[in-house]
A and B are shown apart, each in its own frame.
Chain A
């Protein structure tokens, strides 16, 4: 079996419009013009979907984080806090800086920047 790539990572949502506003307006990810529920995060697509529309029970998706690379974790955190995003913590792992938050549906996201070679 040959896995070629990851086509998308699903972002379960209870309210698609709210999710679109978050990923488009707060995180400012480019929205896919073909599929307004899809956002391009550089190397992979984040795909918002509503499980309840397909008879699937909702539960938050990423439980321990999708790591979004930014230039400067502290500056990005301050910027998002200015837009009302609440963070649950931050950590210097010894090789990278991380700050943890969630989207409006509880999907776990991380601002991430490795600084060690």
Chain B
């Protein structure tokens, strides 16, 4: 039994740390973690830390490969959040999708890391509210 306690961070590879810093901090409006320095930068989402892996942190030979498994960012209203991000220049992969239980809108950060805006609206099968 290895007893996984929690996820400490999900690493997001980036080629241009300043550009990624602006995207996560200003465009998405996430809080920069106090653990962050000039080379190692983290953002807080409420429950999960996103760590930017950059050439500054990993060395000049670092070859970032985009993370293709979407990270689902919960927002109060997917359509409104999508409009705001579009106004900020973010391109979305199509319209808002209604899965039947949640709204989803897919996009990428400037390095191609996959993200989605997500909001579940339906109660769970056992009646627990979304």
Give how many A residues have a beta carbon under 8 Å from the other chain's beta carbons: 45
How far is A28 from B10 in the complex, measured between Cα atoms in Å?
19
Residues of B within 8 A of A8 (CB): 71-72, 118
Q: Contact between B10 and A67 (Cβ–Cβ < 8 Å)?
A: yes
Q: Which of A2, A5, A62, A110 contacts B69 (CB 8 A)?
A: A62
Q: Is A18 an interface residue, CB under 8 A from the partner?
A: no
**What per-residue 1/0 map shows which CB atoms of A47-70 lie under 8 Å from chain B?**
100000000000111111111111
Q: Contact between A79 and B69 (Cβ–Cβ < 8 Å)?
A: no
The bracket for how many chain B residues form the interface is 35 or more
**What per-residue 1/0 map shows which CB atoms of A93-108 lie under 8 Å from chain B?**
0000000000000011
Closest to A77 in B: B2
How far is A8 from B7 in the complex, measured between Cα atoms in Å?
11
Q: Contact between A63 and B4 (Cβ–Cβ < 8 Å)?
A: no
Closest to B120 in A: A7
Residues of A within 8 A of B7 (CB): 9, 41-44, 46, 66-69
Closest to A57 in B: B68
Q: Contact between A61 and B47 (Cβ–Cβ < 8 Å)?
A: no
From residue A69, how far is it (CB to closest CB) to chain B in Å?
5
Known: A2-B81, A43-B48, A70-B2. 12 other contacts (CB 8 A): A2-B76, A7-B72, A7-B74, A9-B71, A10-B72, A28-B1, A34-B126, A41-B4, A42-B6, A44-B6, A46-B7, A71-B3
Name 5 interchain pairs, CB-CB below 8 A, sorted by A.
A1-B75, A1-B80, A3-B28, A3-B30, A47-B72
